[in-house]
Amino acid sequence: MWLKLFFLLLYFLVLFVLARFFEAVVWYETGLFATQLVDPVTLSFNKLKTILECRGLGYSGLAEKRDVRELVEKSGDLMQGELYSAIKNEKEQAESQSESSTTFSGEMHFYELVEDTKDGIWLVQVIAQDRDALLSKANWGKMVQKVSQFGIRTGTFNCSSDSRYCRKRGWMKSTLIMSVPQTYASKGKVMLKEYNGRRIETEHIFKWMTAHVASRIKTIRMSQQLVEEWHPSEKHPVKMFLFAKLAQPPAFFSALSVKFTGRIEFIFVDVQSWDNITSLEEIGVQQLPSYILKMPEGIYRYGNSIGEFISLQAMDTFLRSVQPEVNDLFVLSLVMVNLMAWLDLFITQGATIKRFVVLISTLGTYNSLLIISWLPILGFLQLPYLEGFYDYSLKLLRYADTTTIASWVRTDWTFYSSHPALFLSTYLAHGLLIDYFEKKRRCNNEEENPNNLEWLSSLWDWYTSYLVHPITSFHNFPNESDWDDDPNFLLERLAFPDLWLHPLIPIDYINNLPTWRFKCTQVCGPISEENSGRDLDSNIQNTTGGQTQGLNSEHEEHGCGKERDCAADSCCHSGNGGDVPCMKREAQEQQADWSQWPSDMIHCTECVVCLENFETDCIVMGLPCAHVFHQQCIVVWLAGGQHCCPVCRGPSYKRKPVRSSGLDLLEQQE
């Protein structure tokens, strides 16, 4: 987990550097930064109207360019980044055919989405029974595109689907209905406003909507009211002020007041009729218009840092970081956890099916742990004596999110969220680099990775071996005295399923495992062929039935005759009977005759079951996984119910396919 967290933080660092690189490229090509101010005088009439469209200001009665330019200046400073985003959104809306609009099926559907929604605005076109719609299909599509950029959802209710509800509401003719939260509480009532205007142009309908939405924002027109609202209050500790010479606030500002209902109070200060602005200078307002966030820790002037544009998306990102709700933190943690989990697809080495199986397992585990972890957190946040801790946490968060580094992070978040293809491509490239370095790091430490079929076969063997573990022989069960002496022994045995499950794997395969004698290039003592053959036959007979017979000595148990024992300081004789200098047993082990071994077995000189070195002419046995042991040691192990290799836990009853590349790698390791 820590490795994936490190890779994820490294990926975020790469995204930060890549964003700065793109900014440098744009500056090199155009000589402009996104934070540079734009003089509205240099813009064309169409671009000025585009800016007003994005900010949500009506310009239907303004025919002169000067009037449109003054309206842009009164609503806030214009930056290069905002101008670029506005032009891009206009092109995307022109290319798209239509925005998504909901079609209501009846009263319950309308109530669930519109009347029960406390933090959103709806515009619904009601089509009376046997009547035509108020707006044509083309004008309705333009209206949907216009209001959707401010987070306003749209829908169509045809009275022919539920005529009783239309009569109940009094919708006897086609009209437009707007749903707006009525109070400032997070669970307040919703009011439905019906459009009664005679003109059905898009601009007039939008002006009617913005006027109703702006009516729920607290408006200050006198300096005495400003002094009262400027003081902090316990009910609304965080307030967003707009000081401007406008008749009503922009539509994006009003839409944000609905989205942050109960968290942030939005206040519009109209200074058109103010003769004396000294009161503004006393509270820190030095220019008009100004967007100021009033917090218990102080004031923050929005628009002075990078990425803080006068737009809905930019201000929404800023306010969510300063005053988040629990759902915002949960979504952020969900994104982080899933990004970490998807790194398993590249960190895991091996078959493709193995990667996806591990990925699905990791996704399920991480998301389950995340949900389980959030449940007690939600419970603790609802406790009354933890309100102080919650307020203190928000205070620390506001201190951190009003720094310059936080503004860079918000800018990069906005940039990559608007370019999802770039985000996904960089994440894929980062994962492929991780896969490459992990493969290079593990290539010298592991044997060749199996293919998909081999890995699935090994996975099934592992699953069945742990689901239905074969029992040992019945002669190993304790007798009645053991049960009487220790009653807890029964409980210990009941904890393992091998007490009642019967063996499913026959042990006849042990007779077919390869066996041979361990030879050295220097033989210790005379060896007769007759004794050698007799010992080999006797030891092979011991393997039948999975049982062993008692032998007289430790060397006879491993298949070595008494006449072949030699002490550590005894003289060793060569094969032709000549005398050679005395040699220790360790040197004798290093001169094993590997030519007598099967080609698919790993070279070794020690049995890991008894931890003893192989003696000369001892009978050894190999398993399908290529590991070698004393014959009697591994027979006892296998006959006891452990049908796997003591070293690698590979199945001992299933022949593993031999591949030259894997054997060469094993020999290189030796």
Domains of the chain: 1-31+325-438 (no CATH), 35-97 (no CATH), 98-215 (3.40.30.10)
Residue 237: CA atoms inside 13 Å, Cβ hemisphere, count?
12
504 pLDDT tier (thresholds 50, 70, 90): low
Residues 419-460 pLDDT 10s: 888 999 999 999 899 888 887 776 655 545 566 666 666 666
Checking phi first, is residue 384 left (phi over 0); if not, alpha (psi -120 to 50) or beta? alpha
* Confidence label for 481 from pLDDT (cuts 50, 70 and 90): very low
* Whether residue 186 has pLDDT greater than 80: no
Residue whose structure tokens are 């946040």: 381
Q: Residue 537: pLDDT band by 50, 70, 90 thresholds?
A: very low
What confidence score (pLDDT) does residue 445 get?
Answer: 52
The per-residue pLDDT for 543 is 39
Place of tokens 């009033």: 294
- Per DSSP, 594 falls in state G
CA distance 342 to 150: 33
Q: Dump the DSSP string for 451-495.
A: -HHHHHHHHHHHHHHHHSPPP--GGGS--HHHHHH-THHHHHHHT
Q: Give the H or E element holding residue 3.
A: helix 2-30
Contact 525, 598 (CB under 8 A): no
Cβ atoms of 122 and 209 closer than 8 Å: no
In angstroms, rounded to a whole number, what is the distance separating the alpha carbons of residues 259 and 185? 11
> Per-residue pLDDT tens for 254-296?
888 888 887 888 999 888 877 767 778 778 788 888 899 988 8
Average pLDDT over residues 582-592: 48
Tokens matching residue 175: 């009209």
Give residue-wise pLDDT tens across range 218-246.
888 887 788 888 887 777 788 899 988 88
Give 492's pLDDT tier (boundaries 50, 70, 90): very low
Q: Which residue has the higher pLDDT, 70 or 278?
A: 70
When pLDDT is cut at 50, 70 and 90, the band that residue 334 belongs to is very high
Average pLDDT over residues 384-393: 77
Residue 181's DSSP bridge partners are 190
d(CA 329, CA 390): 13
Q: What is the mean pLDDT of residues 609-613?
A: 85
